[in-house]
Structure 1
Amino acid sequence: MNRQPRWTQTWLGGVRAAGADLGRPGERLGLPASGPGSVSGFGRRIGAVLVDWIVCTWAIGRGILGVDPARSAWVGLLVFALEYLLLAGTTGMTLGMLLFRIKITTVDGKRAPFPVIVLRTLLLCLAVPALIWDRDNRGLHDRASRTVVVHS
């Protein structure tokens, strides 16, 4: 008896469970499989955002500005956005990205121009676009700004 998987098994298991070969992250973009210029994984990206968020809300927000992050999350978000604009806009990476050795580039490997960083930062601050990923480990904020986060 030929047992075909039920449609719920392939739907719940994702596209890979249905037998589709999607390739490795970054392959469609022409990026290397490993080393500098390869697509960064989720762990490094999440670690970098956490470092940036802690620095912005606690060290700068509370330590320098004297604002309690528990009472005013908007100040932390504003400082976070300013950090992204200043650091990623000038160097292509934030403090957290520097620690995790990743950077923002355009899909063709060039440094992202400042208007692209502005768009990416605004979408990142909305959070939802950053939570929806594609098979190349790019969030909607990356796709909209035509950027990719790669190993530096």
Structure 2
Amino acid sequence: MSFREGRFWQPDVTVATVVVDAGRLLCVEERVQGRLVLNQPAGHLEPDESLLEAALRETREETGWDVRLTAFVGAYQWKVPETGAHYLRFAFAAEPVAHDPARALDEGIERALWMTPAELRAASDRHRSPLVWRVVADFLAGRRHPLDLVAQLG
């Protein structure tokens, strides 16, 4: 482990979900530091939560959609050039099950919207991070692994 600023360093662990319906991707438009950006439903892993549980929870909280996870897309590491923050993202594929339009969305989320891959790619200047398109590109390239590849012990 690296030692930094008097404590052990560790990256922020996040999950993201690629939800597809009729060729469209479920995205969120969120306000980050005053800027309106696009992302998958995504967020941080919480204590005592599995990665799969986190993916389901974040999708519900940010979009109002309950989904069924269908595959593990991949794990991604990214360092933010401006801040040096490190992220370790676990991405999943999912299909929509039910929507609750009355559900209040997480703070900062302006709205959930469905976009075609072409629309999302064309808006690359609005992506929250390079992780957004990389995860979608891998999904579109057919990268799907069994969910049991992601194991929780204990």
Under TM normalisation by the shorter chain, which class is it? under 0.3
Looking at secondary structure, tell me which structure has more strand per residue.
2
When normalised by structure 2's length, the TM-score is 0.24
Q: Which has the greater radius of gyration?
A: 1
When normalised by structure 1's length, the TM-score is 0.24
Of structures 1 and 2, the one with the larger relative CO (CA 8 A, separation 6+) is 2
